[in-house]
Amino acid sequence: MSHAILNPYGLHNPVPFGYSHTASVPAGTDLVFVSGQYGSGTEGTVVSADFAAQVQQAFSNVDIALAAHDLDLMNVVQLRTYVVDLDFEKLATIGQAVAARCGDLPPTQTVIGVASLAAPDILFEVEAVAAGA
């Protein structure tokens, strides 16, 4: 693996919430930065008004972007997610989506509650930083 995920003793266990506390990347490792992806189809329009469906589509879009660099979500070291009207139910949805894609050691992640995103029908957006081989 091109990076290491670590959850140090003395900090709470973040894994059930869909993130880890730290990630390190060895010198010389290629980094791929994925811009904010939202729940859009190939035409750029939102696929559903449902929050969970937008989360699933946004992560699928991240997968497509990473695949262009021969990477996948297991290579991600950091996520930054933006959520309109953030609440615990939405946090749980995000955590479940990350756990399903990233396994037992999810990447670091910051969840940011926002009033709105680029268009009124966008409820979720995710950025990613991945480490290549």
3-state DSSP call for residue 43?
coil
Report the domain count for the chain. 1
Query: Which domain, by its residues, includes 105?
Result: 4-131
3-state DSSP call for residue 97?
helix
What CA–CA distance (Å, rounded) separates 103 from 71? 16
What integer pLDDT is reported at residue 104 of this predicted model? 86
What integer pLDDT is reported at residue 58 of this predicted model? 98
What CA–CA distance (Å, rounded) separates 84 from 100? 22
Does 74 score more than 90 pLDDT? yes
CATH number for the domain harbouring residue 34: 3.30.1330.40
Kindly state the tokens that stand for 68: 């262009």
- CB of 81 within 8 A of CB of 94? yes
Burial of residue 104 (CB within 10 Å: 0-12, 13-18, 19+) is exposed
What integer pLDDT is reported at residue 124 of this predicted model? 98
For 1-49, write each residue's pLDDT tens digit: 679 899 999 999 998 888 999 999 999 899 999 999 999 999 999 999 9
pLDDT band at 59 (very low <50, low <70, confident <90, very high): very high
- CB of 13 within 8 A of CB of 114? no
β strands within 1-133, DSSP E: 4-6, 22-24, 31-38, 76-84, 108-114, 124-131
What integer pLDDT is reported at residue 120 of this predicted model? 96
What integer pLDDT is reported at residue 1 of this predicted model? 62
What CA–CA distance (Å, rounded) separates 11 from 116? 32
For 78-125, write each residue's pLDDT tens digit: 999 999 999 999 999 999 999 999 988 899 999 999 999 999 999 999
For residue 78, give the DSSP letter. E
